Amino acid sequence: MPWSRHSRRTHGAARAAAVAALLLVLLASAPSAEEKQLSIYGPRVSYSLPVSEHDGQEYVSLLEALEPFGNVSAGVAGAKWKLRFNKLEAEFRQNATVGKVAGQKFGLPAPFVLENNRGLVPLHALPAILGLMLATRTEYHEAGRRLFLGGAATHFTTDLRENGLSVNFSAPVNPLISTEPGKLVMTFTRDPVVANAYILKLENALVSSLTFVESNGQAELVVLGRVPLLAQFAADRRAIEIVPAPREAQSAPPAAVLGTAPEAGTALAAVAVPAPPTLQSLTARPPFVVMLDPGHGGDDRGALLSDTLEEKGVTLAFARRLRSELQGHGISALLSRDADVTVAVEQRAAMADAARVAVYISLHAASQGRGVRVYTAMINSASSKPGGFVPWDTAQARYVLSSRALADLVKAELSKHEIANSELSAPVKPLNNVAAAALAIEVAPSGADVGSVNAGVYQQRIAAAIAEAIVVGRARVEAER
């Protein structure tokens, strides 16, 4: 757990594109308790399927997954459920974990479920089944529930200029765009948009960062801005230009217009821009969002926990579990990185502060000790005017009591879940620089086996305890923002 290791910053590549102006749409999107879904992206088709749960496992209908690709039929024959797709077959039995796919014996990670004659397979088995049935390469982004077939992918580059940011795509895109003060979100459901780096720290008068996030069958590009922003599509839909919202639009009341982008070529389709961040809106409380910061990544592998286990991978796996656990409780969660990329320690705090999150949690893993250690900053509590400038070195001072209250709750929930734990204050980077309730959580093995730090069941128990603590502590954290 090298807390203070600094790492190099990574920047995205840049490329320019001409953009025809087309004003767009915009409004704060309320986070809703969404249905779980999987998105599948093929070379010519993309679609989403509902994900259902049986005995705590996620399932999808195999017939519906194959339908967009050709002739498919299925039915029950004796004890077997048989599916035919073009000339291939798959067969499974109710509650069995072994079946057949395209002539091969096929093991499932959880029992096959037959529900109203619909054959449901565990979500985790679907990439391999589709790979065999469609004879294609598959790539599954588990945390985001996005499955890519046959190399389907739309890449993007960014080009930051003095007064705008262009995001240029390798194929036409059609995101849903929403804004709230200081933030513009492009949500891609049907476009197989993928990123090489997940966070780009961008510096100009307009934009402070661009983050790529995948969750629940969607990808989002989140732009944090210093002024109200507006998105404009190029006519070919291969570029989106982010510019400052015009002044007259800024003073207009927000209109409730949401939807996909207008047809290219239409004039001024809809304008709805949130109020500029005046003093009043800056002091208004931003939404309750938790930033999870998986320690290390990229060039910085963190501690070598065993011969094969690097801390950077353990922290990322745990962050993803904790994110879905929080989302399951209706709490919005962001990851500071959702890939194996290098992010400087200071940049992590800067991202939390720029996003004005309510809670920041730095995640680490260790091979020594047992259970979970919960750290808060070693800093004296101090009051400062909300909305005023906060000194970087002591940004945590105003929040440290709130941080400790939350740490107490995490400790209590861990004990309730019978996970060994301890709570300490320590000079852990970058907690002092975070202007929000901030913790560092270090996961050590459950017993003698070091590999347990990376075990799904163990991580899941810890994630559940932390999420419950945040649910219980939310009101207290909100009261001190």
Q: Which residues bind Zn ion (CB under 5 A)?
A: 1, 295, 302, 364
Closest CB 295 distance from Zn ion, rounded Å:
4
CA angle 418, 414, 360 (to 5 degrees): 160
The residue (of 196 and 368) whose beta carbon lies closer to Zn ion is 368
Look-up: residue for tokens 């990439």? 127
Separation CA 214–CA 456 (nearest Å): 20
| Cβ closest to Zn ion, residue 186 vs residue 366 | 366
CA distance 66 to 74: 11
| HSE-up of residue 447 (Cα within 13 Å, Cβ side) | 4
Q: What residues contact residue 383 under an 8 Å CB cut-off, 6+ apart?
A: 398
202 CB neighbour count, 10 Å cutoff: 17
The neighbouring-strand residues paired with 118 are: 115
Closest CB to Zn ion among residues 311, 338: 311
- Residue type for position 258: L
Burial class from Cβ neighbours inside 10 Å (0-12, 13-18, 19+) for residue 96 reads middle
Rounded to a whole number of angstroms, the minimum distance from the CB of residue 431 to Zn ion is 13
Q: Any bridge partners for residue 92, and if so which?
A: 81
Q: How far is the CB of 312 from Zn ion (least distance, A)?
A: 8
Closer by beta carbon to Zn ion, 144 or else 295:
295
Phi, psi of 312 (to 5 degrees): -60, -35
Give least dist CB 418 to Zn ion, A. Answer: 25
The DSSP symbol for 244 reads E
**Amino acid identity of 7?**
S
As measured in angstroms, the least distance from the Cβ of 403 to Zn ion is 19
CB of 430 to Zn ion, least distance (A): 12
- The residue whose two tokens read 């270090």 is 442
CB of 286 to Zn ion, least distance (A): 28
Give the residue with the Cβ less far from Zn ion, 174 or 368. 368
